[in-house]
Amino acid sequence: MLAQAGTVLVRLSALVRGRSGGRLSARIAFPESSAPVLGPKAREAGHRLLWKLAFEGRAAGNHGDLYENRDRGHSLLPPEAHPQLTHVAYDAEARKAGIDYGLAGPVLFEAPLIGNSSTAVKYGALWRSLPRLALGQPGGAQHLYQNYLAGQIHVYPEHRDHDPEHGDLIPANTPYFVISQGSSGSDQPHLEALAMILAAFRPETKAFLHQNQLLAPTVQMVLRRSLAAVRSRAAYLSGLAHPSVIPRDQINLMRMVQLANALTPATVPPMVRLAVLSEEDATEGIDYFGEGLSERLFDTPAAIARIWRSHAYRRSMIVSAEATRDPNGHAPTFIWRVLRGDPARTRIEPLDNRGLHARITLDWQLPRPVPGHPDIRSNRVDIGVFAQSGAQDSAPALISILLPRHETRRYGPGPDGALRIESRDLRPPQGGYADPVLFPQGDWRDLYHYDSAGALQGWMRQGPEGDMRFDATGRRITATGPVPVRHMIERPADAPHRIVLHDPSVAEAK
């Protein structure tokens, strides 16, 4: 497909399917252009520096970069603001199929791309921002990781998912997109920042980044290392630089242009690739309830996410960064940092001199303020893993553990002094909120009991149907003996998902 007059029309019939039924692929040809790097209204210090670098041939500019608007013009980056960007348009067939709207679609472009969709699921019981939608659906994170490798970064507003009312509802922290604070139109400053970072790279550096699938990770590093609150390396290695959501007042265009232009192919940091080597498994029907639920939200090389469903007080996992490859052949060292969560209850133990492997141990913990935003609380623990092989630390790969904020748990010491579950109430407190997709509602409270040696004997359930007793294997105790039961999930299209106890013996009797 050929770009013409600053636009490329994507025809559904011209898209090529990737290998083995993969995603659609679009190759764009960009003719020569004499368009300036910025529009006439760009007069801030960062703009002036980019003008100078581009004029001197030391900045690549945006020729060959794409901009994709995915809200049908609702929050459109003005074409005159960055004249070298090529705007993506879709033909009628593609629009009818919905390829142009909402979350970044099935098309992977063979060119650097920035985009936005100032939309959200605004109504109904399953309301949510696009980032929460993407991370909570099957395959969503893997889709985003493919975008990341391809050099595609989209901006989405947090719309009610990062506010004092409900706290931070984003289920995992990832480097795969940028989230703006606010609703419609709040993404515009972030789009400008992304366009200017792409333009500020030296020509040889930008080509090197795209060839080595490092463009999006490096853009994220530059964006976050240059935030207004990040004035030191220590700050970059903290939660201040890696929030779920970036407010517009944290964007510093001057610092972003300077850092992007300072990078050379020899100083580009690698992308950290993680893998979980071992972790403690929980059993549905005993440690948590809900058939089909899992504690594994997703596993991708640059972001790993877990949901703490188990009633265990402590959990641990061993994670490896050994798959990381430095494009310049260096052997990087790895820095592991707690970015969010209670540092007294979140411990990281590197297992070798380079930090290739680490054991992460977490204790049950309560919500804490978001770094830099004391009015917003979070029930998520974030751990960042940074590669260091030269002048710059890499963008972090991220490990997130989401705790169920709606549950009320009580832990107490057993005979050996270790804390164990005593009671667990799944009923949300009055006015409380739990994501009904990730945390189907239960309407009961469980009281656990143990023998004198500390072994779990079972629990008593208090709910609307009266008291029920369960043994340590999750069977319901009845007058005729223990009966296996199922905790099934009802998932209506636009209503809270619910956990319903199903007793096969009762159903058969009926």
In three-state secondary structure terms, 286 is coil
Residue 291 backbone phi and psi in degrees, to 5 = -60, 135
Residue type at position 285:
G
Distance CA 469, CA 65 (A): 63
Other CB atoms closer than 10 Å to residue 473's CB: what's the count?
12
User: Structure tokens of 199?
Assistant: 């333009």
So what's the pLDDT on residue 351?
A: 97
Distance CA 156, CA 503 (A): 44
Q: Quick check: pTM over 0.85?
A: yes
In three-state secondary structure terms, 208 is helix
Q: Do residues 10 and 25 make contact, with C-beta atoms less than 8 angstroms apart?
A: no
Cα–Cα distances in angstroms (integers) from residue 504 to residues 18, 275, 490, in the given order: 46, 40, 17
Question: Could you tell me the maximum CA-CA distance found in the chain, to the nearest angstrom?
Answer: 86
Task: Look at the block and give the residue holding tokens 């005729």.
Answer: 480
Q: Give average pLDDT by consecutive 10-residue segment, the chain, 510 residues.
A: 91 80 86 93 94 97 97 96 97 94 92 97 94 95 96 97 96 98 96 98 98 98 98 97 97 98 96 97 96 97 98 97 95 97 97 97 96 94 94 95 94 96 89 89 95 96 94 95 95 87 63
Q: Which class is 275-402 in CATH?
A: mainly beta
Distance CA 383, CA 399 (A): 5
So what's the pLDDT on residue 100?
A: 95
Distance CA 500, CA 489 (A): 6
| C-alpha closest to that of 10 among 150, 83, 77, 110 | 110
Cα–Cα distances in angstroms (integers) from residue 43 to residues 14, 177, 254, 436, in the given order: 40, 27, 12, 46
Domain parsing of the chain, residue ranges: 7-267, 275-402, 408-509
Distance CA 405, CA 365 (A): 10
Distance CA 400, CA 428 (A): 23
| C-alpha closest to that of 191 among 23, 65, 294, 24 | 65
Question: Which residues on adjacent β-strands are paired with residue 369?
Answer: 377
User: Structure tokens of 45?
Assistant: 């210090």
Distance CA 124, CA 472 (A): 38
Task: Look at the block and give the residue holding tokens 């960042």.
Answer: 384
In three-state secondary structure terms, 361 is strand
Hey, what's the torsion of the CAs at 180, 183, 184, 188, to 10 degrees?
Answer: -20
> The dihedral of CA 367, 371, 375, 380: what is its sign?
negative
